[in-house]
Amino acid sequence: MDAHPETAPAARRPYLVSRGTASVRVRSYDVVVVGGGIAGLTAAVGAARKWNVALVTKSSLDDTTTFLAQGGIAAAMDPVDSPELHMRDTLAAGAGLCDEEAVRILVEEGPARVRELEHLGTKFDRQGGQLVLASEGAHSVPRVVRAGGDATGSVVASALVDAMILGSRVDLHEYEFVIDVLTEGKTCVGTLSLDTEGA
Ligand SMILES: Cc1cc2nc3c(=O)[nH]c(=O)nc-3n(C[C@H](O)[C@H](O)[C@H](O)COP(=O)(O)OP(=O)(O)OC[C@H]3O[C@@H](n4cnc5c(N)ncnc54)[C@H](O)[C@@H]3O)c2cc1C
């Protein structure tokens, strides 16, 4: 698959798998998203607001790590909580192994991303209108939002899949294994994938 077939020949560098370019089926999109977990689905739904998008995944959309996640999503949603406190707890639990910049992005953007997931259709558990916040190890305050009890991952993934289908601007390619990224200089111009027939 190639995002820009007209520029594909310029992207000649050895493929990981030896094959003639004549047998490569070319499809053209503005954006190719690889992966159908929470990251890929969110990227596809967002990108599809502006561009035509392909989502490529090597398996089915319910065969992801995201689908298996149970415990919930930690984010400083409570007024008594804060990104600073979440950061402190995370760095303490990480015992020196954390990438601080990554943790900062996680704690600062987390609440907005949870609200975005809700906006896209995820029904997080609520009681009396308030989000139910669960306590988990290493968190000094209740901070974990859940959906469907311990079915958080599958509830989030299903809502994102529905949002993607509703938007209908994402072309879904399940069971396609991306084996190479085609580049021009430092720019990615496409991906190369194998389907179940090896085509
Ligand atoms: C049992 C379990 C419980 C968990 N519980 C929690 C929890 O409670 N809270 C929490 O925050 N996190 C939890 N996690 C971790 C969380 O699930 C992951 O961090 C998160 O789902 C990762 O999302 P992702 O979109 O990055 O990856 P994934 O959901 O793994 O998606 C990766 C996607 O990429 C596709 N892919 C990969 N390589 C290729 C390729 N070459 N070509 C085409 N497609 C490809 C896969 O098929 C898949 O669709 C848990 C994980 C597990 C396994």
Residues forming beta bridges with residue 190, ordered by sequence position: 2, 182
Average pLDDT over residues 53-63: 96
- Which atom belonging to ligand 1 lies closest to the Cα atom of 178? 42
Q: How far is CA 165 from CA 38, 78, 114, in A?
A: 15, 32, 20
Whether the model pTM is above 0.85: yes
Q: How far is CA 113 from CA 38, 39, 110, 175, in A?
A: 11, 11, 5, 28
Strand 126-127 relative to strand 73-74, pairing: unpaired
Average pLDDT over residues 173-183: 94
Q: Is the pLDDT of residue 65 over 80?
A: yes
For the four alpha carbons of 43, 46, 47 and 53, in that order, the dihedral sign comes to positive
> Ligand 1: which of 16, 41, 66, 125 to mutate, judged by most atoms within 8 Å of the beta carbon?
66
Average pLDDT over residues 17-40: 86
Residues of the chain with CATH 3.50.50.60: 5-62+159-194
Tell me which of 91-100, 172-181, 190-199 is least confident. 190-199
Residue 122: both structure tokens together: 């995820």
* Cβ count within 10 A of residue 107: 23
Per-residue model confidence as pLDDT tens digits over 112-169: 999 999 999 999 999 999 999 999 999 999 999 999 999 999 999 999 999 999 877 8
pLDDT of residue 63: 96
Q: Whose CA is nearest to atom 9 of ligand 1?
A: 72
- Cβ atoms of 59 and 32 within 8 Å: the answer is no
Burial class (CB in 10 A: 0-12, 13-18, 19+), 180: middle
pLDDT of residue 14: 57
Pocket of ligand 1 contains residue 37 by CB under 6 Å? yes
Pocket of ligand 1 contains residue 75 by CB under 6 Å? no
* 65 CA from centroid of ligand 1 (Å): 3
Residue 174 pLDDT grade (very low, low, confident, very high; cuts 50, 70, 90): very high
- Which atom belonging to ligand 1 lies closest to the Cα atom of 61? 49
Q: At what angle do helices 152-167 and 38-47 cross, to 10 degrees?
A: 20
Pocket of ligand 1 contains residue 40 by CB under 6 Å? yes
Per-residue model confidence as pLDDT tens digits over 30-40: 999 999 999 99
Pocket of ligand 1 contains residue 65 by CB under 6 Å? yes
> Ligand 1: which of 34, 57, 65, 139 to mutate, judged by most atoms within 8 Å of the beta carbon?
65
The answer to whether domain 5-62+159-194 has CATH 3.50.50.60 is yes
Q: Is the pLDDT of residue 1 over 70?
A: no
Residue 3 pLDDT grade (very low, low, confident, very high; cuts 50, 70, 90): very low
pLDDT of residue 196: 86
Give the amino acid at 84.
E
Q: At what angle do helices 83-94 and 100-119 cross, to 10 degrees?
A: 130
Pocket of ligand 1 contains residue 69 by CB under 6 Å? yes
